[in-house]
A and B are shown apart, each in its own frame.
Chain A
């Protein structure tokens, strides 16, 4: 029961001179500071973010596209005044793109330049030691985040896109906050970075990865929160219009559509209506601008029929 505080424990393992102070006082503090950066969180988002900082654990954020998963990492970075280091995952991502790579050309140059004039060769062991030094290392996002001395937030975006094997690369960082480089030894973190992983859930992530993370599911916001998001992100919009927009979007999401409108599309729609100078939504406007919310023709037709009681959109 009297176990060490998780942060203390990690700091000790990493050999940090002192335990880094917690970034957030309480979930309410998270909420407030995220809101200052125009990110409206809810209970779950605020408490998981708080917990991640307090327990020094990464957060795995899942949910439909366009609900603010990546935006959360950005907002947290802004809120704590940290640099955001982003690793965009894609199929075929490998060690040399994610972790580190030896700067081969520079190593060659060093070997050639180091050869003393005219006389034989340089002492080999000395040379070897020299060309496998940090100077010749090209850091990639993961190593950069680990070796950074300034405060950083690491965002590993769309982690579900990498192959199952590549996922294993992340495990050491996620649980130990260190990277092992065979020629150099282990690089330990100089601080405790906050780590966010996002996933669109196109495939099941491995148990090992999930176990190391806190899990946060960000679904579509409820009407009140969506209204507040619209109000904070779209300048010059009236509360009534924002509320109406939030309601329409909720109704759209209950329909059986191929792709439900995301929060970012809602914001686009709200901006459009503001530019058009509308104070409230009417049938004609909706029919004319529905393509901003919905990206499939069949979806647009279905929504028009359901919402407006017409089968054909008005031209």
Chain B
């Protein structure tokens, strides 16, 4: 068990969860005092000792499913034996290898022929209707054996098998039937119907989760926990690549953003308050020194200078860069109280100011969602044109840029082979305090194809690769 724990912690660390040495010890102590045959107890004990951040829990649960699958739990005696003879070298795959793959597969495959598709659908329906967990487990493994078509040895993470299974199950029909039994479809009350629909949906989600679990178990039997852990490993929300996030990950990012910006605001406000000393006030110090015979014993300081920077954000909102721009705008406006002024502009090939959308709204995400609908950013063909956007910005707003303003430009600098007009940026930099360019592309892609970041780079204080929320937070946090 201890060596399995070591491997498991290795996997957590590889997934980005920081696990310290003392936490490892705590976990080892925890499993000494608990009943190991109770899987959910082991799970919450390991979670309590190893994971110290609520956002990391989903990643932990995935890894736990892989390393301590239900099926291998049925052979829990092996763990207990390990505990009694810790000196004997235990193979790393102890947990996963405990079950014979042959036996498992035989079990799943043998039953599949005895049931027709209709019977299986009914079985699923009944299991979900009665919320019968055992029946659901049985039906799910039946469905997987029948439809997933799993091939041993293929190095996949299971998404493909999940998709194949679900495609064959006609979940919409199932959800509709469930909706009829969970509530009264004839009810005139809008609310009652809505509840019934949500309940049906929740139960179908339960089925999906169960099927995913079954698939994962089979994969563990096939390839071992460590190999599988690597292929199902998911990055933590703050490490997700914003530009390539799928819909589910996007939702994760959205959820992570709000607490992130709140934390950032609190941190910055605290830092500002603490910096309560300005430079030495010479006049005051000399005046004080008279009481000590002219020796300046007691230094006096000027009150701090409230140097809140002005922030001007110019964001490309075309195509795949759009989501990144939205996150940055959200974050900057969420901490706008830390700046004396925040102005935002968005562009594709035309440019429009969107500051007004953020005014008087207490939740930046609302404003961000209005940008696409309301901003007038397309002047010609709707392909990004950085040169034109910069020109437009310069012509309209250059005289409003002071030495207090920091300009942030967000975009991948993929200019669709238009003219760069880098000289405009040179002039903007001359007027402003600083120009930063945040590029959501990995650095290795810069200057490939139509990316012309190198032409703009000389006129920026820094060009920063900014692909994840973590990087974004670090940058924005350093601005004030």
A residues near B (Cβ < 8 Å) are 1, 3, 5-6, 26-27, 43-44, 47-48, 50-51, 54-55, 57, 59-60, 62-63, 163, 201-204, 207, 210-211, 213-217, 219, 223, 244, 247-248, 250-251, 254, 258, 281-283, 286, 306-310
Contact = CB atoms under 8 A, between A and B. Distances in A.
A60 B41 contact: no
B54 A286 contact: no
Q: Which of A5, A43, A223, A247 has the most CB of B within 10 A?
A: A247
Nearest to A205: B52
11 contacts: A26-B35, A62-B54, A202-B266, A211-B20, A214-B49, A215-B51, A217-B57, A248-B195, A307-B190, A308-B190, A309-B190
A194 to B, nearest CB: 14
Interface stretch (B26-34, B284-292, B303-311, B448-456): B26-34
A307 B45 contact: no
B275 interface: no
Interface in B319-357: none
A307 B199 CA distance: 14
B30 A55 contact: yes
Contacts of B192: 281
Contacts of A3: 29
A101 B30 CA distance: 37
A57 B127 CA distance: 41
Contacts, number: 106
Contacts of B20: 207, 211
B41 A27 contact: yes
Interface in B412-437: none
A283 B191 CA distance: 6
Given A55-B26, A247-B198, A307 B57 contact: no
Contacts of B189: 282-283
A62 B362 CA distance: 25
Closest 4 pairs (CB-CB, A-B)? A210-B52, A44-B44, A214-B48, A217-B54
A60 B363 CA distance: 29
B270 interface: yes
Contact of A307 (B44, B194, B363): B194
A163 B270 contact: yes
B40 A254 contact: no
Contacts of B26: 55, 57, 214
A248 B38 CA distance: 33
A178 B266 CA distance: 31
Contacts of A6: 29, 33
Contact of A203 (B34, B35, B45, B267): B267
Interface residues of B, number: 41
A91 B218 CA distance: 52
Contacts of A213: 52
A215 B29 contact: no
B195 to A, nearest CB: 4
A216 B41 contact: no
Contact of B40 (A5, A43, A219, A283): A43
B194 A203 contact: no
Q: Which of B34, B262, B267 has the most CB of A within 10 A?
A: B34
A303 B198 CA distance: 14
Nearest to A64: B54
B373 to A, nearest CB: 17
Interface in B51-101: 51-54, 57, 86
A1 B25 CA distance: 11
B263 interface: yes
Q: Which of B26, B48, B189, B263 has the most CB of A within 10 A?
A: B48
Given A281-B191, A281-B192, 8 more contacts: A27-B41, A44-B44, A47-B40, A48-B48, A51-B30, A203-B263, A207-B20, A244-B195
Given A47-B44, A48-B44, A248-B195, A60 B190 contact: no
